[in-house]
Amino acid sequence: MSILAVVLILAVAAVLAILAIPAVRRRLLTPFIMSAMERALPRMGDTERIALEAGTVWWDGELFSGRPRWKKLLEFQRKPLSPRERAFLDGPVEELCGMVEEWKVERDGDLSPEAWRFIKENRFFGMIIPEEYGGLGFSALANSAVVTKLSSRSVAAAVTVMVPNSLGPAELLLHYGTEEQKRHYLPRLATAEEIPCFALTGPEAGSDAASTKSRGVVCHGTYQGKDVLGMKLQFRKRYITLAPVTTLIGLAFRLYDPDHLLGDKEDLGITLALIPPHLPGIEIGKRHDPLGVPFLNGPIYGRDVFVPLDAIIGGRARVGQGWQMLMANLAAGRGISLPGLATGAAQLCARVAGAYGTVREQFDLPIGRFEGIEEPLAKIGGMTYVMSGARVLTAGAVDAGEKPAVISAIMKAYLTEGMRTVVNAAMDVQAGAGISKGPRNVLAHAYTAVPIGITVEGANILTRTLIIFGQGAIRCHPYVRTEMEAVASRDLEKFDRAFFAHLGFMVSNALRAFGHALTGSAFVRTGVEGPAGTYLARLTRLSTAFALASDGAMATLGGQLKRREKISGRLADALAWLYLGSATVKKFWDDGKPEADLPFLRWGCEKALHEVESALLGVLENLPDRFAAGLLRLAIFPLGARTRPPSDALSATVARALLDDREERLRLTRDIYVPAPDDPGLGRLEAALDKAVVAAAALQSLKSAVRARKLEREPEGTLVERAVKAGVIDESAAKKIREAEKARDDAIQVDEFDPRQVAQQAPGTLETESSRR
């Protein structure tokens, strides 16, 4: 053996000894790594730290691990709807849906007095309030189901009901209010004796709500004839739902104590309080017009408004804890209301587009049979299946005690984006009938509402690029948060353990990603047989790839990753579609693996896999460190990109499942409201579909006779009578055809109005006033 070989062996042995023996590496190596990490890591502000501490880590942690335990997901049993919750859905919710016509609500600018009275009497505003305080005490799943059904009928009704049951006074009081506050306010909120709103957003603080310029100053003042210690408030708020009719304002503001009446600290932080709207200095009542969707929304202004410290939610003990309270509530709430609304819209689109694709004919053929229409129909059916699965899974997790902050952000952003995709596709199917507003038009209101869902509760752009991966990388990663905490506390031993475990994690994921890619995930063990097992194995491979790509991005970019929003956005896409793919398999599994739903499972999983792979390729193509990107690409994609979006054949199968009133269509849309046949919109279309299905066989016989030249097509007006005389069909079949054709012709008509009516509703007729103050 040469001297050089001996030297190399000794050098390798020395390196291995340093790495393998903790005491040695902590003396010789770890301090330098820790110092480098300290320089690379971004500084974390209080608002970011509080957001990271809010909520829990659930299935998102499994996806970040690269080794998701599918048995844990498939064995998770969500709490089913109780008989009382089911009765509420089948009773008061159905009745409320029957009371509201979105076209009329839009023309009137509000729900009818009868609808408002019904909402109050049936405690719709108290769904999340426990029965002991007079509320309904419903589960998250029931809350979501109510919003889903209502939104399929009326966006205005759904928003009106969901806001008091989402982020607002009731939720905050339940978790943080004093006992006195709970006893006083919760029964009044449950019966809508108090109509709440929550004023968070202002002109200067939208998605960055913590930067609010609304402020309060601790001081003495007079309240209800008594001299008390309180706060003088100055605020400008906008986009506040229910503000025009509120009787109880939940207010977020930054509290200051310049005279140190409460202690040594001057800036006390974000604080939340409950404010009566009748106090001097408060101005409410004006309305915004959110794209014509007629839910009540408007600004609130306050100047020199004095309230006692008892107005703070939770009392003095909760001074300055408002941001923490808000983040904790959003950790669950974002995953319930808007995803429910989006899913309701998607299921409505599936119902409408499937019926319209069967009823509407061109070139002597139902339009749903054309490949050009099959494409949007497949998007509608596939995405609706994915969204429905995710809605139920996430609500079930919340009912199980989770507050999955990252998953809730995924649900809010990606289901409202899914709503945009599905509604746009359905509008393409309906074409002219979709853009002609009136009582017959079922989709226009959903179409108009899409940007609202995308914008509120954290705009989707911000949620995708900053929140999902930005928080997920720290919250859900097995080691990153521990490393950051160790660096901050200068705990060398803790950092050493986490860092070298992290290093081993990366090496393991690199080897597994390479092996899974070469073998096509053939040796991944999921414990599940059949198509579901195959898709879980492929999701495992991409979970491993995602974990490795995430570590590669964090290692090479360090604190800069926070500002590289395009890269973090693509990583968010990958994580989101891993979750949506998981939810798709879970839905198929929980529904009993019905054979008829296999096309929906395949479409949803193929879509998810393709989206994850495309996102990861985008990360690697744009990672600034090209050497690291090359190594990662070799490990993750040694054979190149392998997934494809759903094929034309699969899409055609999904599209056909929505046509002809098949069982799959009914099962896919089981959560929405279906009106009676005399309803001018969906009810009329469903009635026409029923008649078309009944007459389908007779009509096919008639068309076959024409093609075989047994009958002349013209004159078309006498074709049915001539077919009866020729013995092609009997009188009973002829009657079915006539009824179907009459219903078909009625269903495809659009609304028309007197010009004077249109002029009265023309844009620009509302008096406006600038909100600048």
Q: What is the pLDDT of residue 168?
A: 82
Look up residue 474 and give its two tokens: 């720290």
Name the residue with higher pLDDT: 581 or 729. Answer: 581
Q: Which helix or strand (DSSP H or E) is residue 330 part of?
A: helix 322-333
Instruction: Inform me whether the pLDDT recorded for 622 exceeds 80.
Output: yes
- 569: closest CA among 472, 635, 636? 472
683-722 as b/e, with b when 16 or more CB fall inside 10 Å? Answer: ebbbbbbbbbbbbbebbeebeebbeeeebeeeeeeebbee
The structure tokens listed for 143 are 């809350």
| Beta-bridge partners for 216 | 233, 255
Range among 304-313, 561-570, 657-666 rated most confident: 304-313
H or E segment to which residue 301 belongs: strand 297-308
- SS3 of 54, please? coil
Report residue 676's pLDDT band, with 50, 70 and 90 as the boundaries. Answer: very high
CA dihedral 103, 107, 109, 110 (to 10 degrees): -50
- 550-569 pLDDT tens trace: 999 998 998 888 889 999 99
Integer Cα distance of 468 and 405 in angstroms? 9
pLDDT at 41 over 80: no
Are the CB atoms for 221 and 142 separated by under 8 Å? no
Nearest to 307 by CA among 262, 327, 277, 352: 277
- Buried b / exposed e across 224-263, counting CB within 10 Å, b at 16+? eeeeeebbbbbbbbbbbbbbbbbbbbbbbbbbbbeeeebe
The two tokens of residue 247 are 């009787």
d(CA 593, CA 443): 31
- Residue 300's nearest CA partner among 322, 316, 284, 312 is 284
Q: What is the mean pLDDT of residues 374-381?
A: 97
The residues with which 282 forms a beta bridge, in sequence order, are: 302
Q: Is 595 a catalytic residue?
A: no
Query: What are the tokens at 727?
Result: 């013995």
What would the two tokens of residue 694 be?
A: 């009944």
Query: Which pLDDT band, with edges at 50, 70 and 90, does 653 fall under?
Result: very high
Radius of gyration in angstroms for the set of CA atoms belonging to the chain, rounded to a whole number: 30
The answer, yes or no, to whether residue 45 has pLDDT greater than 60, is yes
- The Cβ of residue 599 has, within 10 Å, a number of other Cβ atoms equal to 24
Residue the block writes with tokens 């509000």: 110
Q: What is the pLDDT of residue 95?
A: 98
392 closest CA partner among 667, 86, 79: 79
Asked if residue 535 has pLDDT above 80, the reply is: yes
Q: Does residue 17 have a pLDDT over 60?
A: no
Residue with tokens 């001996």: 6
Q: What is the pLDDT of residue 207?
A: 65
Domains and CATH numbers, the chain: 196-332 (2.40.110.10), 682-750 (no CATH)
| Dihedral sign for Cα atoms in the order 710, 714, 715, 716 | positive
> Which amino acid appears at position 524 of this protein?
V
Question: pLDDT higher for 101 or 51?
Answer: 101
- Packed helices 155-162 and 337-359: angle between N→C axes, nearest 10 degrees: 160
Longest dimension (CA), the chain: 107
How far apart (Å, rounded) are the C-alpha atoms in residues 511 and 519?
Answer: 12
Residue 129, pLDDT > 70, answer yes
Percent pLDDT > 90 in the chain is 71
pLDDT of residue 212: 86
- pLDDT bucket at 659, cuts 50 / 70 / 90: very high
Q: What is the pLDDT of residue 368?
A: 92
User: What local confidence, expressed as pLDDT, does residue 560 receive?
Assistant: 86
**Side chain identity at residue 619, one-letter code:** V
Structural tokens at position 647:
């094929």
- Residue 691's pLDDT is 92
Query: With 0-12 CB in 10 A as exposed, 13-18 as middle and 19+ as buried, what is 10?
Result: exposed
Residue 197 phi, psi (nearest 5): -140, 165
Residue (of 476, 328, 334) closest to 409 by Cα position = 334
HSE toward the beta carbon, residue 342, CA cutoff 13 A: 36
Tens-digit pLDDT profile for residues 312-368: 999 999 999 998 898 888 777 789 999 999 999 999 999 999 999 999 989 888 899
pLDDT digit string, tens, across residues 488-528: 888 888 988 988 899 999 999 999 999 999 999 988 998 89
**Mean pLDDT of all residues in 392-402:** 96
Name residue 570's beta-bridge partners: none
Q: In this predicted model, what pLDDT tens digit does every residue of 169-188 receive, in sequence order? A: 999 999 999 999 999 999 99
Q: Which residues, in sequence order, are CB contacts of 278 under 8 Å at separation 6+?
A: none
- Residue 242 DSSP one-character state: T
Residue located via tokens 């198929």:
588
Average pLDDT, the chain: 90
Give the mean model confidence (pLDDT) for residues 378-395. Answer: 98
Q: What is the pLDDT of residues 428-449, one digit of tens each?
A: 999 999 999 999 999 999 999 9
Query: Is-cis flag, bond preceding 715, omega within 30?
Result: yes
Q: Percentage of the chain surpassing pLDDT 70? A: 93
Helix residue ranges per DSSP H, 29-137: 30-40, 46-53, 59-65, 70-75, 83-88, 94-99, 102-108, 113-121
For 268-274, what is the mean pLDDT?
Answer: 95
Signed CA dihedral, 608, 614, 615, 616: sign only: positive
Which residues, 6 or more positions from 608, have their beta carbon under 8 angstroms from its beta carbon?
386, 539, 577, 578, 580, 581, 584
Among the options 457, 483, 606, 613, which is catalytic? Answer: 457
Confidence of residue 770 (pLDDT cuts 50, 70, 90): very low
Q: CB burial class (10 A; 0-12, 13-18, 19+) of residue 295?
A: buried
Among residues 60, 51, 64, the alpha carbon closest in space to that of 393 is found at 60
105-114, 355-364, 704-713: segment of lowest average pLDDT: 704-713
Spatial contact of 326 and 51, defined as CB atoms under 8 Å apart: no
pLDDT band at 30 (very low <50, low <70, confident <90, very high): confident
pLDDT of residue 33: 86
Residue 758 has pLDDT above 90, yes or no: no
Instruction: Give the range among 210-214, 376-380, 497-501 with minimum mean pLDDT.
Output: 210-214
State the helix-helix crossing angle for 155-162 and 444-455, rounded to 10 degrees: 30
Contact 65, 542 (CB under 8 A): no
Each residue's pLDDT tens digit, 469-491: 988 888 888 988 888 888 888 88
